[in-house]
Amino acid sequence: MKFYDKYLILVNKLNKIPDNFNYDLINIYSNYKKDYLYIDKVVYTNYLLLKDYLKKKNINIEIESAYRTHDYQEKLFNDLCMEKGKDYALKYSATKYHSEHETGLAIDICILKNNKYYIEHELNDLKELNIIHNNIYKYGFILRYPKDKESITGYNYEPWHIRYVGKFSNIIYKNNLTLEEFYNLYLKN
């Protein structure tokens, strides 16, 4: 099947970002970072809808990380190698051209609760996390690196890393699939 949907692009350890990838980035403000970030325009529109939905449930999310340049991704990976070793870095970070953050389609979220931002592994013990994970698909997002799927995604569980896939999020969520599994079942030639 010949099919292309920018929002379904498979970027992982084996699949790099295509040279002709179509970026549509906008500049947005992150309350967590107290700085400006870049993100895909459609992704941000849907993130705002998700954020509004969660706010009605008394859950406040913010963007911790979004688009990264190729050079910045390389720096992050190299810094993690220096700090924790290459084996660790390969479980939690991507090399240059192999990170979804380099597409602008991925967001690392954090939760603001009791005037404190909870990030990355701090999210694991928050009850709000289940509500977030069980509702992101309604807005086109999936949990990109779910628990017990490490052998498929190549990365350890990351409860903070969500990825916009658009209208196919419902199929991925309801069938408990990773993007790799969805791709192999529905899109591979």
Which listed residue (74, 158, 180, 181) is catalytic?
158
121-172, pLDDT tens digit by residue?
999 999 999 999 999 999 999 999 999 999 999 999 999 999 999 999 999 9
Domains contained in the chain, CATH given? 6-187 (3.30.1380.10)
pLDDT band at 2 (very low <50, low <70, confident <90, very high): very low
pLDDT at 3 over 80: no
How many Cβ atoms from other residues are within 10 Å of residue 163's Cβ? 24
Amino acid 115: pLDDT: 95
Amino acid 4: pLDDT: 62
CA torsion, ordered 155, 79, 108, 168, to nearest 10 deg: -40
pLDDT at 1 over 90: no
4-33, pLDDT tens digit by residue?
689 999 999 999 999 989 899 999 999 999
Amino acid 5: pLDDT: 83
Q: What is the mean pLDDT of residues 88-113?
A: 95
Cα–Cα distance, 60 to 25 (Å, whole number):
24
**DSSP letter (8 states) at residue 179:** H
Is 62 known to be catalytic?
no
Write the CA distances from 138 to 32, 59, 83, 161, 188, integer angstroms. Answer: 24, 16, 38, 16, 25
Residue with tokens 């090399």: 95
Q: What is the mean pLDDT of residues 166-186?
A: 96
Token duo for residue 64? 């911790």
46-99, pLDDT tens digit by residue?
999 999 999 999 999 999 999 999 999 999 999 999 999 999 998 889 999 999
